[in-house]
Structure 1
């Protein structure tokens, strides 16, 4: 793997949360992505940082809520399977988070998706307000 595809050490991805980073598509559009732990190999998955229901960020900077292997949308509480990205409940039922290809090598997570180039850890500084969540944990 090339060093320029390296995102982070696998151990830095929280067990119940997410690791947020920014990548760029071939049109130079920046996209926020999140890494979450998954029970299936290679132990981590990458998803776009947006609920498909209302374009709500799943991780607004403090990590996505992850409960029982599911990513929780902070707006309406829809649950997305951390391994498949599929949602079977709430307003987002029937949708799937867009996934991003990864590779894990020598304890590090690498971006292996030709659609994106890794730019930096953290999100896009766009001054949007945080979650308008009514869900509490």
Structure 2
């Protein structure tokens, strides 16, 4: 079942839109939406080098030239494929979350996740943090 997450207008051109999902085991996880030249991608909000390291710490993920930057070690992940070819996370790929975009609306279509609220895990459903942080 598809669940409406946000509008494509809610996803900043540079940065990310943060929301929280519930895994099948009941645990909560954060997901980021990032704008692409021709759409939107969704990734679980952690670096592959250190899974407790968030890419979006609540004020939008840092991005440069179509890549998501890990704020701790500087590894850069391609926003479209999730692949990293540099830094400590080189050779890894972000965990993709299945979404679909229809008529400017973004839907969560990943059967293993249930939408909980916009914003991070600790935001209790408050407004999403979607700054336009640029480096």
Q: Normalization by structure 2: what TM-score?
A: 0.87
Match of 1:114 among 107, 111, 115: 111
User: 1:37 Cα deviation (Å)?
Assistant: 0.8
How far apart, in 2, do the equivalents of 1:51 and 1:33 lie?
Answer: 12
Counterpart for residue 105 of structure 1: 102
User: 1:65 Cα deviation (Å)?
Assistant: 0.5
Counterpart for residue 20 of structure 1: 18
How far apart, in 2, do the equivalents of 1:119 and 1:106 lie?
Answer: 22
Is the counterpart of residue 48 in structure 1 residue 44 in structure 2? yes
User: 1:25 Cα deviation (Å)?
Assistant: 1.2
Between the two proteins, the alignment pairs up a number of residues equal to 124
How far apart, in 2, do the equivalents of 1:44 and 1:112 lie?
Answer: 14
Counterpart for residue 91 of structure 1: 88
Match of 2:28 among 23, 27, 30: 30
How far apart, in 2, do the equivalents of 1:36 and 1:107 lie?
Answer: 14
Is the counterpart of residue 68 in structure 1 residue 48 in structure 2? no
> CA-to-partner distance for each residue in 1:64-112, whole Å, 9 max, x for gaps?
0011100000001100000000000001000000000110112110001
How far apart, in 2, do the equivalents of 1:27 and 1:99 lie?
Answer: 18
